[in-house]
Chains A and B, each alone.
Chain A
Amino acid sequence: MRPLLDGLRRLGQYPSALVGLAIIFALVGTAVFTVVTIPYGQALELWRGGEPWRMHPVNARPVWVDRIAGNNSPRTVVVSSRDALIEEESFVGGSRMQIPLEFDFGYADFPSELNLFLTSTHVEREPFVRLTWETPDGREFILGGRRLAREERVSISQDWELERRLGRVPHVGLFAEPGDDRLPQVLDGRYRLTLDVISFEEDARVDADLVVYGRVHGLAGTDHQRRDLMVALLWGIPVALAFGLLAAVGTTVTTLVIAAAGVWYGGWVDAVIQRLTEVNIILPMLPILVMVGTLYSTSIWVMLGVVIALGIFSAGIKMYRAMLLPIRESPYIEAAKAYGAGNARIILRYMIPRILPVLIPTFVTLIPSFVFLEASLALLGLGDPVLPTWGKVMNDAQTQSALYHGFYYWVLSPAALLMLTGLGFAMLGFALDRVFNPRLRTM
């Protein structure tokens, strides 16, 4: 173990190793933070999409990208009736309520969508609601009336009748300065949506949330299903690290043990191992993974198993064999044999530790290749069905033609994280290579 510790100490002299280590520590730290703050079950639940995301905009850019570009695109505004000044007057068998939902709007661009979510606690008779939109300059638009179910979603943006009346899509028309401008301007100021509710039950209560969807969201933006990409970007870290690490450990350790056993026993064991390696070199890894992914399961753990199984007899065996052959003949092994050490002891305690230092750099540089392998599979549409990963985000982006539509953030942020992971491990690996490869160091 001494050369190992010495080597690690010498690592401090390489700035690239320190940068690599810093990146890896940052990633591991974020991964731990993510797993603690968003537990596994919750992450899967969130990534399934749907209900939790209804108040998020579709395909919104990250806020900082927008601000760097010098725009002032709107954020999402949620106006809840719980904060509004409600005027209520009861009558026999019911009540009349006026709920004003007010908000200030002062962005340079129009919102991307306009929705109203209504809930009602009535038992039998549905309350009736009438919607009036009031602009800062005092114009009023009647948005119609309707009966309320217990949960109602009013998609103002998809009100075709209103769109015809305004001559524009509602979320533009309702916010535009008056006039027939081809390039409408946003009218700054205080907007109000008034809900006139008549309920026909004594204690029925109506709550409303007006969502003025923005065009920017958070640090990571959102995708076509309104999901916050942050969830996938964050959860991608532990998944990528776990996959890369487990695959690298699984393949190197098994390969090493098998190579050592082959060298130690020699004879037919060695011959069989060698032939199996040759067969395995011919088996195309990725096509087989793709085949397994389409025909059986795309679960990341199945993939991991196949990767390790195919990696056991990898070409590395030949390299380890060449390194282990001279070790078998060395005097200390002879000595171990003389005092009666068993086969397993000689292989595991005497042969393998001797080549471990040479192996560490290879091991570290292997990790990113498996991280990218997972991303590759996901990009082909063979990502894990439930887990949020970087590859799946990129796959979504590709199927939604993100580049064509100009949603560059959607591709670039997972790509940047992948690259960061790759670079971190590769930089550390290259420095380790120089430390543990004495022939390189003497030059």
Chain B
Amino acid sequence: MTGSSGAMATPARGFLRDLRRLTLFTVKRLAALFLTVLVGVYLTILIANMGGQVDELRMVQIQSTVAEQVRADPAFFDLSPQERNALIERRVQLDVERLRLDQPFIVRSVDYLQQAIRLDLGRAEHMHSDRGAREVYWIIVERLPATLLLFGTANLLVFFASVFIALGLSRRYGSALDRSVIALAPSSAAPGWFYGIFLILIFAFLIPILPAGGMVDVPPPEGTLAYAASLLRHMLLPVAAMFLSTIFISIYSWRTFFLIHSSEDYVEMARAKGLPSRMIERRYVLRPTLSPIITSFALMLIGLWSGAIILEQVFNWPGLGTLLFQAIGHRDTPVIIGTVVIFAYLLAVTVFLLDILYALLDPRVRVGTG
């Protein structure tokens, strides 16, 4: 805190110092997070291979497909059994070398790690993107916007709605509305997909007004406007499901939070001074609580990335979650690892943004005592 009085004297220098500290902080956090991602991704690779069990599975698969191919090929019909076996063996060997299954797993895992970090996720073994690319990177990139669209929309909606409703409720603490919203909080024990099933049941089967799944109509409508309208119709139910499952619990926690903070002495003081309640809310309640608000927003994001898989599956939404599920069905290891890596990256980016926001909001980081 020694430098703060000097900073007050010359704001420009203070700003520069803040910037320098912020940059330093950012670089430090980036380095730490990079290490974290490194370890996380490596663990993922280890789990995905679990001591080479998957490799054995793939070996068996290679052997059977190669044997099948050679037996079915008329060009090899007049080979003697020995020659044919030799041919099969040679081809298996080629495939093993192509997939580098002949090297010990530890060597390969470091290689996988290196590639994963560079986002060079390799080629899928069975799957391909809708445009026909075999690169895992493209398969994932194609699905990413769908996930981001759905979950971005739902999260922003829940976040802003809950903060504003909670502020309103904390003002009317103890009213009938307040009590009924709080009584609904336990309903958030169920995840989004659970509400999704009910919404599908009601709005797609009992009163068929909305589509039960998918992202746009089949075939996709011509024209941007019609496309957007169709997209919106398909998004309505999954977003509603996520909204329903999280809104009451987040209102509840925000309301408690605001209540605690609006009973602080400095807020009472502001009230005693006769400041308008809007101003009290903005300056005395919201401002000091901003960093916890943002933390919880980011933590919610982190939680929802995982929830994505099942919600997408239930609504047949062509995003990352559905992709992971399909990849698992095909036992396509590169795609599985790729998806998990991307999930890890998304989480890391969330954590990083959270840190930066923290630094911007928390004066302690700027003055270097944090």
Please report A residues at the B interface, Cβ cutoff 8 Å.
Answer: 16, 20, 275, 278-279, 281-288, 290-292, 294-296, 315, 365, 368-369, 372, 375-376, 379-380, 394, 403-404, 406, 408, 411-412, 415, 418-419, 422-423, 425-427, 429-430, 439-440, 443
Instruction: Please name the residue on chain A nearest to B333 by beta carbon.
Output: A295
Interface bin, chain B = 35 or more
Instruction: Please name the residue on chain B nearest to A434 by beta carbon.
Output: B256
Residues of B within 8 A of A295 (CB): 48, 50, 53-54, 331
Scan residues 264-323 of chain B and give those whose CB is less than 8 A from a CB of chain A. 299, 302, 305-307, 309-310, 313-314
- Given A287-B343, A290-B325, check contact A422 B186 (CB 8 Å): yes
The answer to whether the Cβ of B263 comes within 8 Å of any Cβ in the partner chain is: yes
Q: Which of B64-72, B87-95, B130-138, B191-199 contacts A (4 or more CB under 8 A)?
A: B191-199
Main secondary structure of the interface of B (DSSP, over half): helix
Residues of B within 8 A of A403 (CB): 200-201, 205
Interface pair A380/B325, CB less than 8 Å apart: yes
A366 to B198 Cα, complex, angstroms: 23
Main secondary structure of the interface of A (DSSP, over half): helix
Interface pair B324/A281, CB less than 8 Å apart: no
Interface pair A282/B351, CB less than 8 Å apart: yes
The answer to whether the Cβ of B336 comes within 8 Å of any Cβ in the partner chain is: yes
- Given A278-B36, A290-B309, A403-B205, check contact A418 B190 (CB 8 Å): yes
- Given A279-B40, A288-B47, A439-B260, check contact A294 B328 (CB 8 Å): yes
The answer to whether the Cβ of B9 comes within 8 Å of any Cβ in the partner chain is: no
Interface pair B347/A281, CB less than 8 Å apart: yes
Interface pair A287/B324, CB less than 8 Å apart: yes
Interface pair A426/B189, CB less than 8 Å apart: yes
Interface pair B47/A291, CB less than 8 Å apart: yes
Interface pair A282/B37, CB less than 8 Å apart: yes
Residues of A within 8 A of B189 (CB): 365, 368-369, 372, 419, 422-423, 425-426
A-B CB proximity, top 5 nearest: A422-B189, A426-B186, A284-B343, A286-B306, A426-B189
A404 to B329 Cα, complex, angstroms: 24
Name the distance in Å between B205's Cβ and chain A's nearest Cβ: 5
Interface string of B328-361 (1 = CB under 8 A from A): 1101000010011001100110010000000000
Interface pair B43/A285, CB less than 8 Å apart: no
Scan residues 24-79 of chain B and give those whose CB is less than 8 A from a CB of chain A. 32-33, 36-37, 39-40, 43-44, 47-48, 50, 53-54
A120 to B53 Cα, complex, angstroms: 51
Scan residues 235-264 of chain B and give those whose CB is less than 8 A from a CB of chain A. 252, 256, 259-260, 263
A415 to B202 Cα, complex, angstroms: 14
The answer to whether the Cβ of B129 comes within 8 Å of any Cβ in the partner chain is: no
Instruction: Please name the residue on chain B nearest to A442 by beta carbon.
Output: B263
Q: Can you list 20 A-B pairs with a CB-CB distance of less than 8 A?
A: A278-B33, A279-B43, A282-B351, A284-B305, A284-B340, A291-B48, A291-B340, A295-B53, A296-B50, A296-B53, A368-B189, A369-B191, A372-B194, A394-B197, A415-B194, A415-B198, A423-B186, A423-B187, A426-B185, A430-B185
- Given A290-B328, A295-B54, check contact A284 B186 (CB 8 Å): no
- Given A419-B190, A440-B256, check contact A404 B205 (CB 8 Å): yes
Instruction: Please name the residue on chain A nearest to B340 by beta carbon.
Output: A287
Q: When the two chains form the complex, which single residue of B53, B183, B185, B309 contacts A287, counting CB atoms closer than 8 Å?
A: B309
Q: When the two chains form the complex, which single residue of A20, A282, A296, A415 contacts B36, counting CB atoms closer than 8 Å?
A: A282
